[in-house]
Structure 1
Amino acid sequence: MPESPDRSLSSLVRRMRLDLSPLRASRDFRLLLGSGLITMLGTILTTVAVPFQMKELTGSPVAVGLVSLAEFVPMVVCGLWGGAIADALDRRKIVILSEVGLCLTSVLLLVNALMPSPQAWVLYVVGALAAGFGSVRGPSEQAIINRVVPLDQMTAAFAIQGLVRNTAMIAGPAAGGLIVANFGPAMAYGVDVATFLVSLALLVRVRRVTRLDEATPASLRSMVEGVRYALRRPDLMGTYLVDIAAMAFAFSNALFPFLADDLNAPNALGLLYAAGGVGSVVASLTSGWTNHVHRHGLAVIVSATGWGVAVAIAALMPDIWLTFLFLAVAGGADMVSGLFRGTIWNQTIPDEYRGRLAGIELLSYSAGPMLGDTRAGFMAQLGGTRFSLGVGGLLCVGVVGLMSVVLPRFRTYDARTDEYALAERARRATEPATA
């Protein structure tokens, strides 16, 4: 007897809805997720306040742009070093001490803002310090999550993290703008300090997770070993290269102020910036189907292609709402790509390499948007805003297609048969379950 339409719809909804099993299965994941949300909300307030204060102090767009440049080198160096020490030291301590360091940077910003004559150079120095602490924290935090969440729930865990992160990215800038505009940068920095204190109260309750393998002493040699391990794994290199290419060719946030003017909607600039986050939130909320996908490499390729196609179509749209719609679709496709990339990382990388590879992952998804904005600016100078946006999307599709051809091991990756996935599953099966 055929299934009734109501029952079919109910089954589809159950299959699509966000899988919350990691939250039920792991107390430590709940604590880390709560800490990450609170930290991100506070950090976004500071991210809004620093450019505003720099503009107020200098009146120079170049000075504002140099804040990001000051953060780039510490992010790269500390991301790699943070991965090395994550495989050498107590990861829980690294996360807590990094959080303390981040809190102190916000205290320094607060003190500077309260001075009779705040100094612009402090924003550069403290921004670099914060980027360093954040990059050290990331690999250890992700390595802990990898251990406290069951392997078969990794995709769901990444979806939940993505939902939290993107919700914060939508709400945070709006709250930051209101606070800075009405109360000034000092208030934003003060709220950020308070959020770090709450976050630390959660982090100290996370239990120490024992290692599956012996710790690897942190050194330049261990960092090189991590890079060599990644190079030996075409499936891993595919996740990095496809994401960098997708972002470098189709990420175009730097064009949004010009695109808003072109659409005769300068007051709707915030919609363009929020579109990707909205799409990511929707993708996270409907991500239950991803638990039934096993060809993760192919899924990344399809998602990254969808990201490029949606960006290219957005360049052709005649009004702000259609542009918003396709940029949101692009954000959703990027979120799905991230889910499957994260699943490959956390289901196949041995614990002894997890920190170092998390450092490489951090660089792979941080460098792409920076390259993308640079590319977008140069192409817009040559052919205009829509040319840059549309051609960038098409280039993304072409390059991702080329990589799918030259990286067959990545394209054919299957979690049910991959040797690294099977080995990690076997190792984790011998470990006592954590709740």
Structure 2
Amino acid sequence: MASRFMVDFTPLKESREFRLLFGGQVISMLGNQLTTVAIPYQVFTLTHSSLQVGLISLAQLIPLIAGSLVGGAMGDVYDRRKLLLFSALASSVTAGGLALNAASPHPSLIVLYLVSALAAGLMGFANPSRNAAIPMLVKPSQLLAAYSFNQVGFQLAIIIGPAFAGLLLAKAGLAWTYALDGASFLITIVTLILLRPLLPTPGAMKPGLGSLVEGFRYLRGRQILQGVYLLDLDAMIFGMPRALFPAMAAYVFHGGTTTLGALYSAPGIGALLGALTTGWVEGIHRRGRAVVIAVVGWGVAITLFGFSSILWISLILLAIAGWADVISAVLRNTILQSSIPDSFRSRLSSFQMAVVQGGPRVGDLEAGAVASVSTTEISVVSGGVACVIGAVVLAKALPGFWREGLAKRESPNSDPPSS
């Protein structure tokens, strides 16, 4: 019974290549989480504005999406391992730039905007190749377990990284926090060097605007794939209040950097528990329906979080939200990767990565803007309610996604686009 409940360890046991990719990714994400906390903390320290925290996140959106689209188009044609190596090398340089700016007597807000935007573009560039590489390294029957482990690594980083960042910011300062992020990429580079080449299936269109248009055309009428993207956008734009965490730590919970780190870590704790116990998810037949329910659960938990002014209750609610989110993420990734041919895999993964990474940044702006004209609490609550309403609307508008199940998987031949 326990084996059916816990995540399946088979991909890690059987695939050396998956172990290398997974290990390098965990180290990189741990470092990235240090910067994820440090940037809004530094902006809020310099400006005392939640709107500015949202704006710097928005400034990362366009390069993030552009990098993701370019990386996706290239990942369907070129060796995905080489693309990941390039991104890791360049990202170590941007982390060093953030450290030098933070160490200067008068840190520049403009430099912070520009370098963080470049770093976001590089992260977007790497993500499609990394996500599309997983089906190349494990058996089809192990895909859900592999993406569950992907989430385990991500959530470990979300838990450990922000908590460690809070301690680093308090004890060592911003410059060392950014510098450690840069050092993490050096370890990732070693694991990528040991990884075998990740050559895509021949036949994809050469990188360019035409190949991206071809990818978007593939989505036309395919409600299952559209639902994967749109439901995540709904949850992240309306239900992600992370831009408000610095203000909430200071003014709602009357804490400092340790409280801030706890707020960032709490969703990851719930998500980690969810990812480690995804064995039961393999028994879900109506996966689209389960995604909708998980997004509604996320929205309800965030709404209740907005009403709470007691830290431990708020952390529990954020953990519940994280649990619901990881169930949604594992199912969405499995639906996506089991529904597309390899010649489109990186491009459609790039669309997914643009959504996953871009949605929260739009959400940062939405949360900061609403808070600037009302209150922090109203911003959180209204966002959670909007997330729930959006999920219900999408379930009605995309009946193909609502009915998605293991018995009928979308493919280029078995499920032609609807008119």
Q: Which residue of 1 aligns with 2:6?
A: 17
The one-letter amino acid of 2:406's match is A
Q: How many residues align?
A: 412
Q: 5 Å matches for 1:17-416?
A: 17-51=6-40, 61=49, 66-112=55-101, 120-257=109-246, 259=248, 265-266=254-255, 268-317=259-308, 319-380=310-371, 384-416=375-407
Which deviates further from its counterpart, 219-228 or 103-112? 103-112
Distance 1:53 1:383 in 2: 24
- Rounded Cα–Cα distance in structure 2 between residues aligned with 1:365 and 1:419: 21
Q: Deviations over 1:279-321 (max 9, x none)?
A: 1011112111111223211111111111122222333446332
Deviation sequence 1:334-375 (CA, Å, 0-9, x none): 110011000011111111111111111011122322333333
CA RMSD of aligned residues (A): 2.8
Post-superposition offset of 1:209: 3.1
Q: What CA distance in whole angstroms lies between the structure 2 residues aligned with 1:47 and 1:304? A: 23
Normalising by the residue count of structure 2, what TM-score does the alignment of the two structures yield? 0.88
Q: Partners of 1:110 and 1:263 in 2: how far apart?
A: 30
Q: Is the 8 A contact 1:70 1:124 kept in 2?
A: yes
Relative to structure 2, which stretch is displaced further, 177-186 or 347-356? Answer: 177-186
Looking at CA atoms only, which structure, 1 or 2, has the larger radius of gyration?
1
Please, which runs of 5 or more residues in structure 2 have no aligned partner?
A: none
Alpha-carbon distance, 1:35 to partner = 0.7
1:418 aligns with 2:409: yes
Q: 1:371 to 1:217 in 2, by over 3 A?
A: same
What SS is found at the alignment partner of 1:348?
Answer: coil
**C-alpha distance in structure 2 between counterparts of 1:258 and 1:48, whole Å:** 13
Question: 2:163, 2:262 within 8 Å by CA — same for their partners in 1?
Answer: no
Q: Deviations over 1:134-175 (max 9, x none)?
A: 111111111111211222222211221112111111211222
**What is the rounded CA distance, in whole Å, between the counterparts of 1:256 and 1:187 in structure 2?**
22
CA change 1:419–1:248 in 2 (3 A) is closer
CA contact (8 A) 2:80 2:199 kept: no
Deviations 1:42-95 (A, max 9, x none): 223334444556677x55647666543432221121111111111121111111
Is the CA contact (8 Å cut-off) linking 1:109 and 1:126 kept in structure 2?
yes
Q: CA deviation at 1:390?
A: 3.0
CA contact (8 A) 1:257 1:266 kept: no
The 2-side partners of 1:310 and 1:109 are apart by 34
SS in 1 for 2:411: helix
Percent of aligned pairs with the same amino acid: 38
**CA–CA separation in structure 1 for the residues paired with 2:240 and 2:284:** 26
Once residues 235 and 131 of structure 1 are traced to their aligned partners in structure 2, the CA distance between those partners, rounded to angstroms, is 28
CA 1:421–1:164: 2 relative to 1, 3 Å? farther
Amino acid in structure 2 at the alignment position of 1:236: L
- Distance in 2 (CA, whole Å) between partners of 1:323 and 1:52 is 20
Q: Hey, what's the Cα distance between the residues in 2 that align with 1:304 and 1:201?
A: 37
